[in-house]
A and B are shown apart, each in its own frame.
Chain A
Amino acid sequence: MTALSPARFKEQAAAALKDAPLQRALGNMRVGFIEKRRKAAEKLPEFEDLRDQGVAIKNHTLAHLDLYLEAWEKKVVEGGGHVHWARDAEEARQIVLGICRSAEARTVTKGKSMIGEEMHLNPFLEANGIEPVETDLGEYIIQLRHETPSHIIAPAIHVNKEQVADAFREHHTGLPPDRPLDEGPDLLAEARTQLRDRFIAADVGITGANFLVAETGSSIIVTNEGNGDLTQTLPRVHIVLASLEKVVPTLEDATTLMRLLARSATGQEMSVYTTVSTGPRRDGDPDGPEEYHVVLLDNGRSALYGTEFQEVFRCIRCGACLNHCPVYGAIGGHAYGTVYPGPIGKVLSPALMGIDKAGALPNASSFCGRCEEVCPMRIPLPKLMRHWREAEFSGKHNPAPVRWGLGLWAWAVRRPALYRFGARFAIAGMAFLGRKRGHLRSLPLAGGWTAHRNLPAPQGGVFHDLWRKQRKRR
């Protein structure tokens, strides 16, 4: 398999549209998330007001991020934990490796972490002789299939259960061939049994963090399976992977965001387990890790503070924008070729990788605006995608025909008389060509559109003329 890349977005999207198993799997998503989120939001009359407060909490925190990070770090250290600052993914990987080496780790269990994905941690650990074991069911499935997550909260959403059964049969040695793996419960029981031993054998547990709390120096993880808790409770060492923007001031502030998170993500009132972890095992504690480390990753984020893109750091990674995106719903997550897919990925990826590499993504949107409508943090995703399009154009990163076409259009639109004349002429021509069928089957320079559907023939003149007529009638 060729590595996925945002540079090949168009080919990858075209392939995804023709991928029958993927299309079947995506069908499961379209019926679930949207309806559940709607019901959960309707059931809580204060939901919209909570969104406004969530935005205010994050804006305040981001405007004082340096101070909150220092306050948080001080509390972590007071509680016996360690904070490691990493400028980029390579530095973060080396820090994790160093901790694993000093713990003489052979296997590492992992709770779900998008920062871990951003660091490309698993292949790096493997190359250094340490076996990472993903424990979130979805992450475990895709690890066996040598894939990356295709959704930020449902990583294996592109996989059908027959494919899960195949992966288990291939990798679980000692699995009797006659053991049925046809239904979900069979598969879950098999994964539970396999992973239970891995939890107990692991030397180090690595989790992500949904929030860091400055007031107490805590990290918070939110899961439904309980895998994150077993990951951070059973091994001797717990490593938390987090990025700068995860910090919030107080437990009360985290609570407001938690009231939004699960409802926006899965439509649950609350996820099953929300665990606030503060430091290592205390005197007298019969269980829990002896060491508690947090690796705090920048990876290009600090350069975006104070710019219009700062708003994207309000994101709490609920996945609602993916679930409601018609583009994501049609092609799934892998076609984007980036760690973060969907609308949030279209804004975040150019920031993390550079607009020259990820320029195709902010262009892959119809600007329907559903992502912004459902974003609990009211991130203006379409606006930020437009900013990236502008940055791409002014940095001359688009292909030449696109630049030429946009340039010509911009030249014409600044000359209204000429533009209207041209538009009237084009519309009259198209109306003439489509006069019999009422639509056009093909049109020069618009093959990308007409290859998949007919273009309705224009009726009744250009907008300007219609507008003028309406005004006169009044």
Chain B
Amino acid sequence: MSSRDAILGALRQRLDRDADGGKGAEAVAERLSAHRHNLIPQRGQRDRAGRIDLFEDYAAGADATVARVASAGDVPAAVADFLKRHNLPANLVRAPDAELDAIPWDSQPTLTLEARKAEEPDAVSVTAAFGAVAETGTLVTVSGDDNPTTLNFLPENHIVVLWADRISGDYEAQWSALRARYGDGALPRTVTLVTGPSRSADIEQTLQLGAHGPRRLHIVIVDERPEP
């Protein structure tokens, strides 16, 4: 007998599966397709302006920095500000994301951007978030040809462009949005929920930022998303 059959057989016997007349299988199929919501905390259930404020509060509470701009045209200046503030190099690596393509990067002539995955020793990356969750100040990022995963983790500084209309109150809205884009029961290779920059408290329980991932996470919230 294969180990698979042995383990499943033992479970079936212990859980008395044959006696349930197929009721168990029905319950499982129903649960898997219904995507039923469990209790959702009230905290994130606000109007658009309230959600943006709440997201900003919790992201800052998790040691991210946040800048808010009116439109895509303001993003390059916000990025340049961040680089200047931390004395960082102006050559960036960015995600080959269509919405980032549409940003007028040339408006800041000092910036040079390469659209590709991250490699050592890239210092600063720019990516676009799929969405965000106000409840905990969490970004939702997805992998794909337009947003390589390495951009989220290798460089010491990570800048994320977030369209304000993609901030939801809760996680459940993000799962629905992912199902709408990728299909029921399907996901991109990775969905990463990011709450603040990398950290560790493994040495004497003292918190330090920048363990293996970025030391700084800077989020640029853009009020108005350009029409595609």
List the interface of chain A (C-beta within 8 A of B). Answer: 25, 28-29, 32, 44-46, 49-50, 53, 57, 60, 63-71, 75, 85-87, 91, 135-138, 141, 154-157, 159-161, 164, 184-185, 187-188, 192, 195-196, 199-200, 214-216, 218, 224-227, 229-230, 233-234, 244, 249-253, 255-256, 258-259, 266, 268-282, 284-288, 296, 298, 302-303, 305-306
Q: B200, A224: Cβ atoms under 8 Å?
A: yes
A63 touches B15 (CB 8 A): yes
- Contact check: which of B2, B16, B143, B203 meets A184 at CB < 8 Å? B203
A154 to B11, CA, bound (A): 32
Given A233-B153, A285-B143, also A274-B192 (CB < 8 A): yes
Q: Distance in Å from the Cβ of A27 to the closest Cβ of chain B?
A: 10
Stretch from B20-28, B80-88, B104-112 contacting the other chain: B20-28
Question: Shortest CB–CB separation between residue B99 and chain A, in angstroms?
Answer: 17
B120–A196 contact, CB under 8 A?
yes
Distance (whole angstroms) from the CB of B205 to the closest CB of chain A: 4
A286–B117 touching, CB < 8 Å: yes
Contact assessment for B208 and A184 in the assembled complex, using a CB-CB cutoff below 8 Å:
yes
The smallest beta-carbon distance between A16 and chain B, in angstroms, is 18
- Rounded to whole angstroms, the CA-CA distance of A159 and B202 in the bound complex is 9
Point out the residue from B3, B41, B149, B206 that lies within 8 Å of A287, measured CB to CB: B149
Q: Which residues of A sit under 8 angstroms from B206, Cβ to Cβ? A: 28, 184
Q: Which of A71, A227, A269 contacts B62 (CB 8 A)?
A: A269
Contacts of B24 in A (CB 8 A): 63-64, 67
Please give 4 more A-B residue pairs, beta carbons under 8 A apart, in addition to A50-B38, A53-B38: A66-B17, A87-B6, A185-B208, A224-B198
Residue pairs across A and B with Cβ atoms less than 8 A apart, 12 shown, are A71-B32, A137-B200, A188-B203, A225-B213, A233-B149, A258-B171, A269-B61, A269-B136, A276-B191, A280-B189, A287-B143, A305-B14
Q: B193 to chain A: which residues have CB within 8 Å?
A: 270, 273-276
Bound complex: CA of A196 vs CA of B121, how far in Å? 10
CA separation between A195 and B211, bound complex, in Å? 10
* A302 pairs with B11, CB closer than 8 A: yes
- Within B180-212, which residues are at the interface with A (CB < 8 Å)? 185-206, 208, 210-212
Which of A85, A227, A252, A284 meets B4, CB within 8 Å? A85
Closest B residue by C-beta to A187: B203
Q: How far is the CB of A190 from chain B (nearest CB, A)?
A: 11
**Pair B117/A141 contact, Cβ less than 8 Å:** no
Nearest A residue to B193, CB-CB: A274
Closest 4 CB pairs of A and B: A226-B213, A138-B202, A225-B211, A306-B14
A136 / chain B contacts, CB cutoff of 8 Å = 202
Write the nearest CB–CB distance from B61 to chain A, whole angstroms.
Answer: 7
Cα A273 to Cα B197 with chains together (Å)? 9
Shortest C-beta distance, B152 to chain A (Å), equals: 7
CB-CB nearest in chain B for A288: B189
A218 to B35, CA, bound (A): 15
Cα A85 to Cα B9 with chains together (Å): 13
* Pair B15/A250 contact, Cβ less than 8 Å: no
B195 touches A270 (CB 8 A): yes
